[in-house]
Amino acid sequence: MKLAILGPLKRRHEEIRLIGEAKKVFDSVSYFCIPNLTVEITDGECFVKHKNIDLSSFDCILPRIPRSYRTFGFTVLKILEGKVFFPIKPISLFYSHNKFSTLLLLKENNLPVPETYLALKRSVTENVLDEIVYPVVLKLLYGSMGRGVIFADSKQSAITFIDTLELFKQPIFVEEYVKNPGEDIRAYVIGDRVIASMKRIAKKNERRSNIGVGGKGIKYDIPQKIADLACDAAGALGMEICGVDIIEGPKGPTIIETNINAQFQGLESATKRNVARQIVEYLKERVKK
Ligand SMILES: Nc1ncnc2c1ncn2[C@@H]1O[C@H](COP(=O)(O)OP(=O)(O)O)[C@@H](O)[C@H]1O
Ligand SMILES: [Mg+2]
């Protein structure tokens, strides 16, 4: 059985781990950098190729497509859809690489998300900024690893950031602060279950709990109710494999975001689980079915 992993030029820890584990499970494993692929329409047929290798000749594809390649990645997956198995829907690339669209889709599926506002210029945010409860969270639509998340304790401090967003022509994304003691939950969904989960505890004087900004991951036995939420979130986004961030807030567990290319280095060390192995074993089973 043949697996192809589609990823960025520079392989990160996760891609390297996935290749290593996949080699133990699949008969052959290839890694293709997305910018090295071509998409062809010839004789009325569509192909995705790497040099002369036709990607539809693989049994399974594991997309690890970064945001910057999401449009090309979408085309690639659209062409391969129905020919090769892969664990996300092509459209998931757009939804999950945009934090606001993610929340919108979750809400449409009756899942709990923070109150959220999106606008394109400061002048139309005045009402919201007058009425919202502080602190608020301001985010770049496309941040990751905690970068691009700001907490504003007053309208005045929110405006300073909003002015900056406007200057850089970035959408203004304002989110209700979900009260928490400096921690959140990362649930890693594979298929219809959470295969590993941890609490992430923010470092002192920091509200972001991401491990990339100093948060500490500790193994967490996730209650079934929260695990179900994580699985529902993954399902709503059309992803069979994804990382879901959840905060247990005053109104109950609230989904903050889903991660299409979730990292798992911190999760593996916190839980001592071989996440990479579970991913590739899942893919193999899924193809067999
Ligand atoms: N609405 C919120 N209320 C409280 N804390 C939040 C909220 N949104 C994000 N955070 C904190 O900031 C961290 C990073 O936010 P997140 O939206 O997951 O962005 P990233 O993609 O950078 O991980 C979260 O893990 C959480 O600790
Ligand atoms: Mg996050």
Going from N- to C-terminal start, the domains of the chain cover 2-88, 115-176, 180-288
Residues 180-288, CATH architecture: 2-Layer Sandwich (3.30)
* Residue of 115, 141, 220, 247 best suited for mutating to test ligand 1, as the one with most atoms within 8 Å of CB: 247
Q: Which residues pair with 48 in a beta bridge?
A: 39
Does 194 contact ligand 1 (Cβ within 6 A)?
no
Does 261 contact ligand 1 (Cβ within 6 A)?
no
pLDDT in tens, 91-103: 999 999 999 999 9
Whether the predicted pLDDT of 143 surpasses 90: no
CA distance 206 to 40: 48
The predicted model gives 82-88 an average pLDDT of 98
State the distance from the centre of ligand 2 to the C-alpha of 134, rounded, in angstroms. 21
Maximum pairwise Cα distance, the chain: 61
Q: Give pLDDT, residue 245.
A: 98
**115-176 CATH:** 3.30.1490.20
Q: Which ligand is nearest to the CA of 200?
A: 1
Answer yes or no: same fold for 115-176 and 180-288.
Answer: no
Q: Give pLDDT, residue 105.
A: 97
Phi–psi pair at 260, nearest 5 degrees: -75, -35
Phi–psi pair at 80, nearest 5 degrees: -85, -10
Q: Band the pLDDT of 289: cuts 50, 70, 90.
A: confident
Whether the predicted pLDDT of 182 surpasses 90: yes
Please give the angle made by the CA atoms of 211, 212 and 216, to the nearest 5 degrees.
Answer: 20
Tell me, what amino acid is at 200?
A: R
* Lowest model confidence (mean pLDDT) among 127-131, 186-190, 227-231, 255-259: 127-131
Q: Give pLDDT, residue 178.
A: 98
* pTM across the whole model: 0.96
Does 143 contact ligand 1 (Cβ within 6 A)?
yes
The alpha carbon of 102 is separated from its chain's Cα centroid by a whole number of angstroms, namely 9
Q: Band the pLDDT of 43: cuts 50, 70, 90.
A: confident
Check whether domain 2-88 has CATH 3.90.280.10, yes or no: no
Does 112 contact ligand 1 (Cβ within 6 A)?
no
187: exposed, middle or buried (C-beta count within 10 Å: 0-12, 13-18, 19+)?
A: buried
